[in-house]
Amino acid sequence: MTVPYLSLAIWVPIFGGLLTLFAGKDRNAPVARIIALLTALAGFLITIPLYTGFDTTQANMQFLEVLPWVQYFNVSYALGVDGISMPFVILNSFITIFVVVAGWEVIQEKVAQYMAAFLIMSGLTNGIFSALDGVLFYVFFEAALIPMYLIIGIWGGPNRVYAALKFFLYTLLGSLLMLVAFIYLFQHSGGSFSILDWHAAPLSMREQSWIFFAFLASFAVKVPMWPVHTWLPDAHVEAPTGGSVVLAAIALKLGAYGFLRFSLPIVPDASQYFAPLMITLSLIAVIYIGFVALVQTDMKKLVAYSSISHMGFATLGFFMFNQLGIEGALVQMISHGFVSGAMFLCIGVLYDRVHSRQIADYGGVVNTMPKFAAFFLLFAMANAGLPATSGFVGEFMVVLGAVKYNFWIGFAAATTLILGAAYTLWMYKRVVFGPVGNHHVAELKDLNAREFLFLAVLALCVLGFGLYPLPLTEVMHATVDELLRHVANSKL
Amino acid sequence: MEFQIPNFAPAAAEIFVAAMALVLLMVAAFARPGGGRCAAFWVSQITLLVAAVLSLPVDWSAGVWEALSNSEGGFAMWLLSWLASGKVTFTFGLSFLSDPLGGMLKSLVCLAVMAVLLYGRRYLNDRKLETPEYYVVAICATLGMLVLISASSLLTIYMGLELLSLSSYALVAADRDNPRATEAAMKYFVLGALASGLLLYGISMVYGATGTLDIIEVARGLYEQQVNRTVLLFGLVFVVAGIAFKLGVVPFHMWIPDVYHGAPTSVTLLISTAPKLAAFAMAFRLLALGMWDLAPQWQKMLMIAAVASIVLGNLAAIAQTNLKRMLAYSGISHMGFMLLGLMAAKGSPHDLFNAYASSLFYVVIYVLTTLASFGILLMMSREGFEAENIDDFRGLNRRNSWWAAMMAIVMLSTAGLPFFVGFFSKFFVLQAVLSAGHLPLAVLAVLMSLVGAFFYLRIVKVMYFDEPTDDTPVRASRGFGLVLSSNVLAVAVLGIMPGWLMNFCVLILRSSFG
């Protein structure tokens, strides 16, 4: 009998979260923390066989699990991963550990609910990445909004209610249109909700265009693409550190993943037709949002805008329809998961001590926190795309792909290397270097063991994938090949 | 004409409830002043339970155990098909119909009223409103609903409807010293009487056009094209108006917010739940059964009513600060959604059953979630304090995280978010609407659900993000808490396993129409 790894990856965190909720009342927060940490670790260990047991030569879905769910509508509980989704399942489970550890001391209020929300969210996110049934995907996709809404709203900053609601309604609007598209596809694919059946469903250009825009409404908000990105800075600024990490490292990837799983294969002709539009929007995100990031005075907002800019790179890579572009975009997304997560954790480290995110409130941090400054520098460099960090690999591949597609697009995309360096390093300079800015900075204590540990692990990941990205690209290769072959075949 | 003794068996549940209403009346008459409440409560609960069993759409004559041993597809499948095995029987001429659909709805009505009486008991007691007479009237209202569901003649329908309505008017006015309640009762009565008048006028036209009051005969007359369609169409308009009033859809929704708001919450709970099941049956019998050949006409009317209800219900709910009013407007929009399912019935038999089943599923789930939401309001109220404003839920998570979670589940389900069953009820209706080819309607419906999500989320926001202003502990007695929690958890569990209920709805409809 085969072990249902994917089901475990989904349900272990969810049940662990519920257990945390019931075991940890406000009195016994330590119990809640320990259960949460054990669940997160178990959740990560479960996903390791997904990598070790993965057959990199195959392009089709692996670790399949299919059970009937709502038989009347042919909805099934179908799970499976390919080279595109598998790394994200592992990334998500991995990041969850950091989220739990990052909230260890900082969160003192409703600890059990905090931990439970993140664990449940992690399970649901694994569900999104591994669902092979449209309804199942949608159910996970929507349900994951609920814990995030609560996380921002309960543990967030002063303007949290506005941010939480904006986040929720923006994302819900897109998903609802996608739902209509799903039902439409159900009726035009011979009554099936299987995503793989939809890949093969014949659709006219008119149908494809409508469906493309319904998907775009949902995924563009999630990515987020310009001009529907405005929820992200609000949500990031108000979310607690853990929330920001999950948003940046995981939630943004859902939209991009949606393009690969739904838009490109289901409506290939519309995707090709509207590619110039998508490329334009992506370039606007890369360049314009890069400039916006430059003028931010709030560190979290700056990193939030830099995330939008980096995700613009990912969508740019997808819509050039070549191997380098798509693989580069995927590498970029994984790397961004580590780097942006690490950046938010670094800002969290500062925020926990000074309770300010304003760049102006810092200065000369290196004098009091040398170890922290070293880690922060590494992550800032990775964010700017320095060679030998994971940030470089993805960006370089996408730029190569873009140049192949069209020189000027590649040229425009490459400006991100300059812009990224500008806003990240300028921020780094103002926060870390110079004379000690004020008495808060003078009283700072350097990293404690817990913080050192999680930053060190992330630093290893960033450097590791920067120097040797093969383990990552190798699992994607066959799937991306197959995807490109599929997209090249017109459905008309 | 020779007199025949009619077959009383199909009406067993109604006859039993009617008899027990008289027993209750005796309890009320002979109890010492101020007493008899407890006895009346338990007698009503037992009455309803027995009626629920009596009306189960089960073929009792079939050998249960043999069937069980022969069944294929496992126990669950067998149970569902057994529960839908009732026969279609007419009695009292053609004016009374017993079929699986009616049986299922009647059982659900009885169960819903049982929950209503249980949830409302402490609330009524705190306000000195719990009298045996209250239970008498509630049981009479139930009888009205049962008759309405089983009715297959226009007059029987009218009789059931009036019994239900008159009892409801009396219940709304139960708190007779409260000016808001009496005002609500007056409004309800005046508008209700107007709607009854419209319905009666419509019935008279239908009678004029077809020469019969029996729904089956009306349908036959229409099918054989022996009727004056113009007169019948006029009649249809009035009949639809009567149905729309009972369901509370635009433009006959005006009474809903005032009555829900003004009535004691326990009565609001009664009015907002079980009668919707009965109204569904009425709509189904009159339109889908009796006037099927006029479907293009009534479907257009329902479409307009549905769209207007969904838009107005959701938009008006945003502005409410009173939770009862907000739930009232949300109820209007939900009934609109339910009508979308009815209106999407066309095409092959499979599509027809699909559309009707989605609508049936929707109304059942609506009743289940509404029981829970008003139940929580009743639980939060205490002596001298009405929990009815949204602000009363402020910081509930800090006061009692269990009930905050329960309320959050109910609100998220009503908003149509997965993993709660509200998502699937919307999903099934949308699916039916799309398969009937109404793409713009589906898009409008989902956009309005987005608006709806805003105000349901506001409740979650108030409970979780705000500081409490009131530190009184939230308590429910053990029995009440247990039933209410299982009611809410049913919403969550059905959200994970919605398939069997949908199968059951289809099965019920199939065995009702062979």
A172/B434 Cβ within 8 A? no
pLDDT at B22: 92
Predicted local confidence at residue B410, as pLDDT: 92
DSSP structure string for B282-332: HHIIIIIIITGGGHHHHHHHHHHHHHHHHHHHHHHHHT--BHHHHHHHHHH
Residue B66: its pLDDT value, please?
Answer: 59
A71: which chain B residues are within 8 Å (Cβ-Cβ)? 499, 503
User: For residue B376, what is the DSSP state?
Assistant: H
Check if A172 contacts B (Cβ < 8 Å).
Answer: yes
> Does B397 sit within 8 Å of A183, measured CB to CB?
no
CB contacts, 8 Å: A183 with chain B: 427, 430-431, 434, 442
**Partner-chain contact A72 B502, CB within 8 Å:** yes
Helix residue spans in A83-155 (DSSP H): 86-102, 111-130, 134-143, 145-155
Average the pLDDT over each of A153-162, B128-137, B297-306 and give the range with the smallest value.
Answer: A153-162
Regions of chain A short of the pLDDT cut 50: none
What DSSP string describes B225-269?
Answer: T-S-HHHHHHHHHHHHHHHHHHHT-TTS-THHHHHHHHS-HHHHH
First to last CA, chain A: 42
- Residue of chain A nearest B446, judged by CA positions: A176
Q: Which residues have a Cβ under 8 Å from the Cβ of B421 and sit 6 or more positions away?
A: B365, B368, B369, B413, B491, B492, B494, B495, B498
Inter-CA distances, B241 with B173, B237, B298, Å: 25, 6, 11
User: Residue A250 has what pLDDT?
Assistant: 87
Chain B interface mutation, best of A21, A22, A72, highest count of B Cβ atoms under 10 Å: A72
Give the Cα separation of B269 and B321 in Å (integer). 19
- Partner-chain contact B417 A186, CB within 8 Å: no
pLDDT > 70 in chain B, percent: 96
Q: Supply the pLDDT for residue A444.
A: 78
Cα distances (angstroms) measured from residue B258 to each of B190, B246, B255, B367, B404: 13, 15, 6, 20, 27
Q: Is A75 exposed, middle or buried (0-12, 13-18, 19+ CB in 10 A)?
A: buried
When the pLDDT of each residue in chain B is averaged and rounded to a whole number, the result is 87
pLDDT recorded at residue B368: 92
pLDDT band at B46 (very low <50, low <70, confident <90, very high): very high
Residue A77 near residue A69, CB atoms below 8 Å = yes
Q: Would the pLDDT of B191 be above 60?
A: yes
In this predicted structure, the answer to whether residue B62 has a pLDDT above a threshold of 70 is no
Q: Check residue B33 and give its pLDDT.
A: 76
Taking contacts as CB-CB distances below 8 angstroms, the residues of chain B near A17 are none
A413 residue type, one letter? A
Q: Mark yes or no for CB contact B446/A176 under 8 Å.
A: yes
**Phi-psi map region of A311: left, alpha, beta (phi>0 left; psi -120 to 50 alpha):** alpha
pLDDT tens per residue across span B333-364: 999 999 998 888 887 888 888 899 999 999 99
Whether A67 and chain B come into contact, CB under 8 Å, resolves to no
Alpha-carbon distance of B245 to B303, in angstroms, equals 15
Q: How far is CA B324 from the centre of its chain?
A: 17
Per-residue pLDDT at A451: 84
- The confidence score (pLDDT) of residue B161 equals 92
Residue B63 pLDDT exceeds 70: no
Coil vs helix vs strand at A67: strand
Report the candidate in B438, B413, B437, B407 with the shortest Cα–Cα distance to residue B426. Answer: B413
Task: Decide if B418 and A138 are in contact by the 8 Å CB cutoff.
Answer: yes
**Closest chain B CA to residue A113:** B401
Which positions in chain A touch B442 (Cβ < 8 Å)?
A: 180, 183
Q: Please say if the pLDDT value at position B77 is more than 80.
A: no
Confidence of residue B54 (pLDDT cuts 50, 70, 90): confident
Cβ atoms of B250 and B305 within 8 Å: the answer is: yes
B64 has a pLDDT exceeding 70:
no
Distance from CA of B434 to the nearest CA of A (A): 7
8 Å CB contact between A364 and A441: yes
Q: Check CB contact of A18 with chain B, cutoff 8 Å.
A: no
What integer pLDDT is reported at residue B67 of this predicted model? 60
Question: Does residue B251 surpass a pLDDT of 90?
Answer: no
How many angstroms separate the CA atoms of A129 and A137, rounded? Answer: 8
Residues of A in Cβ contact (< 8 Å) with B428:
73
- Residue A463 has what pLDDT? 87
**Structure tokens belonging to residue B141:** 């209202």
Nearest Cβ partner of A70 from B450, B460, B499?
B499
Question: Nearest residue of A to residue B415 by CA position?
Answer: A172
Token code pair at residue A22: 């019931």
State the complex-level ipTM: 0.87
Residue A23 touches chain B, beta carbons under 8 Å: no
Q: Which of A14, A18, A73 to mutate to test the interface with B (most CBs of B within 10 A)?
A: A73
Is the previous residue joined to A68 through a cis bond, with omega within 30 degrees of 0? Answer: no
Q: How many CA atoms lie within 13 A of A188 on its CB side?
A: 19
pLDDT value at B146 more than 90: yes
pLDDT above 80: residue B451: yes
